[in-house]
């Protein structure tokens, strides 16, 4: 697996792009596991729904049953990226994998936020991984943008690519203006940053 910055310029001490984590066919299989008819209205930490901040449908994958192969790939990717780039003290995957669907029909988006929150698990998030599941030609808008250094940079849009970042890095999903964007999100936990 090639760990490194992609042509988008997404890299730095707290952000890393990883190309080709999943194939296009595997991305379709992951989307099917989190298909829209199984989704809930995406909320914020603590389950609060606020459509001005986040408008998405989400599904949680079974990481021990039908989604075990997805989790196995995620664990391998995270272990390699952390060993070679982040060097964080990580202890567990305390939350299930999340598939999010952002649709132009409802101007799907997620405003600027960080993934560390007040919840019992959210307070211990140290590393976030987001995988692009959709074909980039299937939607417009919907860029995952990260601001780790004072300016927003768009993450890669190539299907199957991932971006990993420290969970305190501000990021957003810009409004989708056409079609539908799907992504896989994973949070990795550990003791508090010091």
Look at residue 43 in the predicted model and tell me its pLDDT: 47
Percentage of the chain exceeding pLDDT 70: 85
Helix and strand numbers (H, E) in the chain are 2, 14
Q: How far apart are CA 73 and CA 78, in angstroms?
A: 9
Q: How far from the centroid of its chain's Cα atoms is residue 40's Cα?
A: 17
Task: Residue count of the chain, please give it.
Answer: 194
Whether the per-residue pLDDT at 66 is higher than 90: the answer is no
Q: Which residues contact 66 (CB under 8 A, 6 or more apart)?
A: 33
Place of tokens 């599941």: 133
> How do residues 170-194 score in pLDDT, each as one tens digit?
999 999 999 999 999 999 999 988 8
Q: What is the mean pLDDT of the chain?
A: 87
pTM (predicted TM-score): 0.88
Look at residue 47 in the predicted model and tell me its pLDDT: 55
Residue 57, beta-bridge partner list: 41, 101
Q: How far apart are CA 70 and CA 135, in angstroms?
A: 18
Percentage of the chain exceeding pLDDT 90: 69
Q: How far apart are CA 141 and CA 12, in angstroms?
A: 24
Residue 119: pLDDT band (50, 70, 90) is confident
> How do residues 26-55 score in pLDDT, each as one tens digit?
999 999 988 755 555 554 454 554 456 788
């Amino acid at each position: 697996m090639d760990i490194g910055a992609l042509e988008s310029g997404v890299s730095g001490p707290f952000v890393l792009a990883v190309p080709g984590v999943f194939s296009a066919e595997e991305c379709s299989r992951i989307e099917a596991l989190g298909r829209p008819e199984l989704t809930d209205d995406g909320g914020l930490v603590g389950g609060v729904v606020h459509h001005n901040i986040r408008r998405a449908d989400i599904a949680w994958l079974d990481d021990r049953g039908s989604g075990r192969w997805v989790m196995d790939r995620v664990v391998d990717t995270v272990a390699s990226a952390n060993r070679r780039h982040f060097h964080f003290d990580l202890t567990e995957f305390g939350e299930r994998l999340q598939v999010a669907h952002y649709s132009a029909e409802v101007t799907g988006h997620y405003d600027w936020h960080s993934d560390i929150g007040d919840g019992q698990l959210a307070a211990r998030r140290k590393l976030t991984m987001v995988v692009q599941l959709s074909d980039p030609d299937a939607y417009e808008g919907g860029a995952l943008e990260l601001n780790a250094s004072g300016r927003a940079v768009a993450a890669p849009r190539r299907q199957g690519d991932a971006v990993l970042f420290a969970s305190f890095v501000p990021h957003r999903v810009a409004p989708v203006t056409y079609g539908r964007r799907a992504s896989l999100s994973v949070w990795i936990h550990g003791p508090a940053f010091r």
